[in-house]
Amino acid sequence: MLDYILTILAVVFGAAIVLLIKPESPKKLKLLLAFSGAFLLAITIFDLLPEVFEDNIKPKATGVWIMIGILLQKVLEYFSKGAEHGHIHLDKQTSQIPVLLFCSLGIHALLEGFPIHHTDGILIGIIIHKIPIAMILTTFLINTKLNASTIAILLGTFALMTPAGTFLSENFDFIKGYYKEVAALVIGIFLHVSTTILFESNEGHKFNITKLIVILLATGIAYLL
């Protein structure tokens, strides 16, 4: 139950930061994104990858599922306009609900909930990943012409998607039977999102020592968990 609550609170916390503190420094948000991306990538490599390949009699098939996950995330980002890694390229003056954006984010959030109960590291990685995404999403929504109740419903629905994925993975035998395939799919999604966050070109292609330190810190913490 705590896992469900924590993933919901991650979205609430991210939204609250925007609504109460109103952060104005994009540099700090980029560093938070870099930390979350590095942490998610490291946890995926340290925890999830060994798990799906352990005692695996069909490693190539697992690799295929990972590639499917990478390609699926690429398709989702076409509709979400890159919200998963820190960018929303949509009309901020819209008065209509961005259905494709929320469908894409919802599928992403639902799938990332599947492996949570199998490792504590992934739970922490997803929580850290969701906070800046919730901040970016909240910032976008409050700058649109949508009313406050609609924004609250959208954010609430988004917050419930990851625990919904966890619930499905723990309570449906059909999904349990294909856990490694689904986990491999999620690995592909995580690899795409985290590497996109980390390896997007810096402004002016300059070496950023602060970002490097943040990445190394996140990787070290993930290794110690």
Tens-digit pLDDT profile for the chain (225 aa)?
778 899 999 999 999 999 888 776 667 788 888 999 999 999 999 999 998 998 888 899 999 999 999 999 999 988 877 777 666 655 566 677 788 888 999 999 999 999 887 777 888 989 998 998 999 889 888 888 889 999 999 999 999 999 999 999 888 888 888 888 999 999 999 999 999 888 875 555 556 888 889 999 999 999 998
Q: Nearest-CA neighbor of 220 among 91, 88, 41? A: 41
Within-domain flag for 22 = no
How many other C-beta atoms are found inside a 10 Å radius of the C-beta of residue 155? 19
Within-domain flag for 216 = yes
> Structure pTM?
0.88
Within-domain flag for 160 = yes
Within-domain flag for 99 = yes
Quick one: pLDDT at residue 89?
59
Quick one: pLDDT at residue 202?
56
Residue 174 to residue 164: CA distance in whole angstroms: 16
Residue 66 to residue 77: CA distance in whole angstroms: 17
Contacts of 150 (CB under 8 A, 6+ apart): 97
Quick one: pLDDT at residue 189?
95
Residue 66 to residue 68: CA distance in whole angstroms: 5
Helices (H), ranges, 22-178:
26-43, 49-53, 59-80, 99-112, 120-142, 148-171, 173-177
- The overall longest dimension of the chain from CA atoms, in Å, is 53
Quick one: pLDDT at residue 79?
82
Within-domain flag for 44 = yes
Residue 131 to residue 144: CA distance in whole angstroms: 20
Within-domain flag for 21 = no
How big is the CA angle at 82 (ends 81 and 87), to the nearest 5 degrees? 100
Residue 198 to residue 193: CA distance in whole angstroms: 9
Quick one: pLDDT at residue 183?
92
Q: What is the DSSP letter of 145?
A: S
Residue 185 · residue 46 · CB < 8 Å: no
Quick one: pLDDT at residue 92?
60
How many domains does the structure of the chain reveal? 1
In the numeric block, which tokens belong to residue 217?
A: 């810190």
Quick one: pLDDT at residue 188?
96
Structural domain that includes position 74: 2-16+29-224
Within-domain flag for 24 = no
**Relative orientation angle of helices 148-171 and 99-112, to the nearest 10 degrees:** 30
3-state helix, strand, coil in the chain (%, to 5): 80, 0, 20
